[in-house]
Each structure stands twice: as structure tokens, then as C-alpha cells.
Amino acid sequence: MPTLEKNIITPDAATGLVQGSYASVTEMLPLSAVLTDSNADNPTSVSWTPNKRRDQRMADFTAFGANLPYTRQNTQQTAMAGLLKLGVREMVGERDIAVHGATPEFLRNKLQAYLTQIGTEIAWRVESARLSTLFDAKFSVQNTVYDYGRDKAHEVSLAVAKKWNATGVDPVADILGWQNLVRKNTGVKPTVFITTSDVLDILAENPQFIAHIPNYVAKPSHIGRDDVEAILRNMCAIDSIVVLDEMYSGLGVRLPEGFTVPEKTVLLAPNLAAYELGRTVFGATAAAQSAEYGINNPNGVGLVGYVTADSVPVTYDAVGEGTVLPVLENADLTLKAVVA
């Protein structure tokens, strides 16, 4: 039976490797700035107020001598969900030990490399969860579905004749209409345009879109990326354009198997500095709470790492784990549109 191994690498040091690797990779991933990491208030669950309303009311005039009316309070139900366990392990097996020996130096170097890799793998899995949560307003794992309740009017799939690569369609009119819809329903205008390069390529060849370029005597059949972005900024007041596939490929790695970026899709979101869409919530682990592990983590939440050893056969496992859930608290501030 595996036992906790603290001589080669202490759990506290292993945790530092996992957390450090996770943090350095997460910092480069685009959606970590949208659903930012936070600690759970409850060790194993998270609660939030879905689509918190921003209703504004006015006081009423009344007659002299009349009782003043009471104001009405916003009352909204709170949602709660359990955090999900996420983790991975990597083994230093019999073959490794037979070839290199079970020297502390070899084991330490090998296990440190594995713990660093584990932190990276967790970072990418969490980013994948953010991606599906943000675009679908849902997150599914195994047989559990977390539905964050985006208004169905904020989920658009254009008919074939209305798609942005169809004749006579003006994407600017669509975007302005969607912005007005979200503003009418929530009081907030979305000004962040999250998409992939295929959508920008379609815009670059759309005659109605190109026609919005000022000072062109003869409109070209194709425009460059700078012109595409200029039209979005000038005509639709878009202040941030996020091209996900290019940002991921810019990291110089092959995307993990199963990591899917939605194509031919646009997500409109509000200014992220002014409005919070949600969070990526980390909870507690048994290892962080246990004195036996000796992990220096006062609140007991976040990722942990440790090493286990087994004698039959002789193996060592590097382990990284945590409890986490991405939460799209204000799904109605977003609008998803499949445009081609």
C-alpha cells in the first residue's frame, strides 16, 4: 500500500512546485483574466447570486400628511454547487529505478519534473473548463452539468441566409443589435469581442462589413486585420478584441487532446475591468488540512502536491490535486453567437 514519502520531497515543497507551475502557465492563458482564480468561502462548495440584477428604482411623490411608501428590496435566490476534484499523478516506475537506481538525487530530480508537469496539466484543464463555461454558460463533467442560466435570447445561431459569409449580410448591424439587446436586458453594454481567427477572416471578405471603412473610394474585396479591428472599434465601440486560437498558438505548444476552441463563434462580454463575470473557485483538500502532510497553507485551500512510495513493486508517485469549479455568475452579461 502506498505511503506518504517526505524524505525525498516534502509535501510542502511538492505543493510549491505544483502551485508555481500552475500559476506561471495560468498567467499566460487568456481566460484566466476573465474567470479569475479565487478561494472558496466554504471548503467544498461555492455559492453565488446568479445574474445579479442591476434594477434601479425611483422614489414616489406623495401628498402632505400621507404615509411614505416603503421601498422594495431586490430579492434573488442564491445558487450553490459542490466543487469538483481535479488531479493527476505520474509514476517513477520499476524500469526507471532499475536503470538509474533509487538514489535520492535521481528520484528528487525526476519527481520535481513530474510535479512541475502536473501543475501545467492542471492549468490547461482548468482553462478548458473556463472555455466551455464562458461560451456555453454550462460546464459538464461526467454525468454532472452545471448550468449558469444564460438568457436564451443571448444565445444566437444565425440562419444560413443570415450568416456572416452569406451575400448581403452586414455583421455590424448584427453586433449593434446584440449589444442593444444585452444593454436592454441588463443595463450593461458588451464591448469585449471574443472569437477566433476564422471569424475575423470572414469579416475581412464581407462586402457590407468592408463598406464601413471610411475614406475608401473603391472598396477592396479583402481587407487586413488592422482594418477589421478598426471597424469593430469605430462602428461597434468594441474596446477589446480577443482572438483565442491565436493567443493559444502563440504560446508555442500543441494544444492538449480534447482542448477545443469554438470556431465560427463570437462571444460578447462587458468591460472586464468594470464588471465581474465570474470566478474560478478553488476549495480545500484533505492533504492541505492534514498535519501529517505539513503543508504550509493556513486556510487549507488551493492545489497541493505530494509524493507517495510503494515497496511492492518499488514505485514512487508524484501527485497534484485540488478542488475547483469555474462559475459564470453573471451569464446574462454575455451573448454567444454562432455566425458562420
- State pLDDT tens for residues 83-124: 999 999 999 998 989 888 889 999 999 999 999 999 999 999
**Does residue 291 register a pLDDT over 70?**
yes
What is the pLDDT, as a whole number, of residue 305?
A: 98
What is the pLDDT, as a whole number, of residue 309?
A: 95
One domain, residues 29 and 134: yes
Give the count of alpha carbons within 13 A of 36, CB side only: 7
What is the pLDDT, as a whole number, of residue 54?
A: 60
Report the SS3 class of residue 306: strand
Average pLDDT over residues 278-283: 97
pTM attached to this predicted model: 0.91
In a domain, 103, yes or no: yes
- pLDDT category at 41 given cuts 50, 70, 90 is confident
What is the pLDDT, as a whole number, of residue 73?
A: 58
- DSSP single-letter state for residue 292: T
Structural domain boundaries enclosing 194? 152-245
Report the SS3 class of residue 138: strand
Closest CA to 236 of 187, 173, 181: 173
One domain, residues 19 and 127: yes
Question: How many structural domains comprise the chain?
Answer: 2
One domain, residues 139 and 8: yes
One domain, residues 100 and 45: yes
In a domain, 261, yes or no: no
Report the SS3 class of residue 145: strand
What is the pLDDT, as a whole number, of residue 78?
A: 85
Closest CA to 9 of 323, 317, 321, 322: 317
One domain, residues 189 and 142: no
